[in-house]
């Protein structure tokens, strides 16, 4: 009687986990989708799964499961407050109190409290490559960069019938990031203004004024080059020029870096607004969050549901535009893969990972500034055959290398190579099936 295929429990709670579940099923595994509370009881109430796929690594969850010898593969988003090295110093907390800033402490469940602690059954796959050494430093047995993937069934070329409501010369799909609760510039500005008003001395009030000036100057300098993440260096330059620490002493501490990344939310909002306003004269249609309604003079088309309508936008647009958040300079935005999987023509801001995966002028086209973006949008609108050729090439590359099935296959390879899964796991489907 043939052995049963390995079973993976996929923890629900993130939209891309459903695609991982489908991918592992396509690769021949038995898949069970579970809530976190159920996953934490793996192996207690019945047969244990071969491994658990979790997202963003709640510490009680992975400790409970790995403590019973069950491997956990964590696919980590790694936003700013999930950094495993983020531990406060007393001076950081004092600065937060002094300037009325909230301490952006990650929830206790996310912390790796002891750098020397070992996690032999935990495997981390992070979408931010610079996080790999950080996980290794806190005892993770295996950590590697594994970018987002795409579901080529959901994002695919569509027949032209029914696409007319989505048609546009140029389109941008995404949130406006306006009125964001974690907008670091707004939070810092508000807190410093409050601290200045409540200062115990004229000197303290004046210091808050200096910091407010540094804040606005930092925004202006980053705005001068909106598609390249320069803010940490800008803050260091301002500190050297003014002879004043920006909020926190001791250089670029984890807490200061966290606040710089939170400031990046504000800067990404300004970047996206600049992109939309620059391309509006070319017939740009905007799809996304309702806060775009606050922007006058744009063609806002409403929400584009990720599961049912977004693929239509990418299929019906002559030129699709991606503007990645610059505070994550080395990730692979899902929007890039989704457009290309539809065979859409994409103009994208660049980063090192994108450039390593896709060829400029062959799979997509990169831009480097607002002027460059406008010039290239105009030029490529006049080249429909070349746009279609590049769209086909980009789609072929994504389908052959960047689906969720490819990502799931890589996780299986790592688990097999480490001995956590039997070698026969990779015989369930040939690698060529991972498309």
Residue-level pLDDT at 15: 85
pLDDT for res 431: 47
Which domains occur in the chain, in start order?
A: 7-92+108-149+403-433 (3.40.50.2300), 164-178+273-401 (3.40.50.2000), 184-270 (no CATH)
Residue 330 CA neighbour count, 13 Å, CB half:
10
- The answer for residues whose C-beta is within 8 angstroms of residue 121's C-beta and 6 or more apart is 65, 66, 69, 70, 71, 72, 141, 420
Helices (H), 198-330: 202-223, 231-242, 254-279, 310-316
What is the pLDDT, as a whole number, of residue 86? Answer: 56
- Give all strands of the β-sheet with 140-145 in edge-to-edge order: 30-34, 7-11, 51-55, 72-76, 119-126, 140-145
pLDDT of residue 111: 57
- The pLDDT score that the predictor gives to residue 254 is 77
Q: How far apart are alpha carbons 289 and 346 in whole angstroms?
A: 21
pLDDT the model gives residue 214: 98
- Rounded (10°) angle between helices 384-401 and 334-341: 110
- Spell out the long-range contacts of 291-294 with Cβ–Cβ below 8 A and sequence spacing 24 or more: 291/175, 291/176, 291/177, 291/178, 291/179, 292/176, 292/178, 294/176, 294/178
Q: What is the pLDDT at residue 433?
A: 43
**% helix, strand, coil for the chain, step of 5:** 45, 15, 40
23 in Cβ contact with 408 (< 8 Å): yes
Phi and psi dihedrals of 101, rounded to 5?
-85, 140
What's the confidence (pLDDT) of residue 427?
83
What is the model's pTM? 0.92
Neighbour count for residue 69 (Cβ, 10 Å): 11
Q: List pLDDT tens digits, range 275-313.
A: 999 999 999 999 999 999 999 999 999 998 888 899 999
The pLDDT score that the predictor gives to residue 81 is: 46
Q: Which residues of the chain have pLDDT under 50?
A: 1, 80-81, 84, 107-109, 431-435
């Amino acid at each position: 009687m043939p052995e049963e295929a390995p079973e993976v429990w996929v923890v629900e709670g993130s939209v891309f986990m459903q695609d991982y579940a489908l991918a592992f099923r396509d690769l021949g595994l038995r898949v069970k989708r579970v809530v976190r509370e159920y996953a934490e009881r793996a192996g207690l109430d019945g047969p244990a799964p071969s491994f658990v796929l979790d997202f963003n690594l709640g510490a009680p969850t992975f400790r409970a499961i790995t403590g019973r010898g069950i491997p956990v593969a964590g696919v980590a988003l790694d936003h700013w407050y999930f950094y495993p090295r983020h531990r406060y110093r007393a001076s950081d907390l004092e600065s937060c109190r002094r300037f009325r800033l909230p301490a952006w402490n990650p929830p206790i469940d996310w912390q790796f409290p002891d750098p020397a602690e070992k996690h032999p059954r935990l495997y981390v796959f992070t979408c931010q490559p610079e996080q790999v050494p950080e996980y290794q430093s806190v005892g993770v047995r295996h950590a590697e960069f594994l970018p987002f993937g795409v579901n080529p069934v959901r994002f695919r070329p569509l027949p032209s019938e029914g696409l007319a409501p989505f048609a546009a010369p140029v389109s941008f799909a995404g949130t406006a990031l306006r009125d964001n609760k974690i907008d670091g510039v707004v939070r810092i500005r508000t807190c410093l203004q409050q601290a200045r008003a409540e200062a115990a001395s004229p000197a303290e009030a004046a210091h808050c004024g200096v910091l407010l000036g540094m804040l606005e100057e930092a925004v202006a300098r980053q705005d001068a080059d909106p598609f390249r993440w320069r803010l940490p260096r800008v803050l260091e330059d301002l500190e050297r020029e003014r002879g004043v620490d920006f909020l926190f002493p001791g250089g670029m501490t984890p807490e200061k870096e966290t606040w710089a990344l939170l400031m990046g939310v504000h800067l990404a909002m300004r970047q996206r607004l600049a992109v939309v306003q620059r391309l509006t004269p070319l017939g740009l249609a905007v799809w996304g969050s309702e806060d775009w309604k606050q922007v006058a003079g744009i063609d806002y088309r409403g929400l584009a549901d990720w599961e049912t309508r977004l693929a239509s936008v990418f299929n019906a647009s002559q030129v699709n535009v991606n503007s990645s958040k610059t505070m994550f300079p080395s990730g692979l935005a899902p929007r890039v893969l989704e457009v290309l999987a539809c065979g859409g023509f994409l103009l994208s801001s660049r980063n090192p990972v994108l450039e390593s995966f896709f060829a400029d002028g062959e799979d997509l086209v990169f831009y480097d500034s607002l002027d460059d973006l406008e010039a290239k949008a105009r030029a490529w609108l006049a080249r429909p055959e070349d746009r279609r050729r590049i769209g086909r090439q980009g789609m072929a590359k994504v389908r052959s290398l960047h689906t969720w099935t490819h990502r799931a296959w890589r996780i299986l390879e790592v688990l097999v190579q480490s001995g956590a899964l039997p070698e026969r796991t990779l015989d369930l489907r040939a690698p060529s099936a991972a498309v």
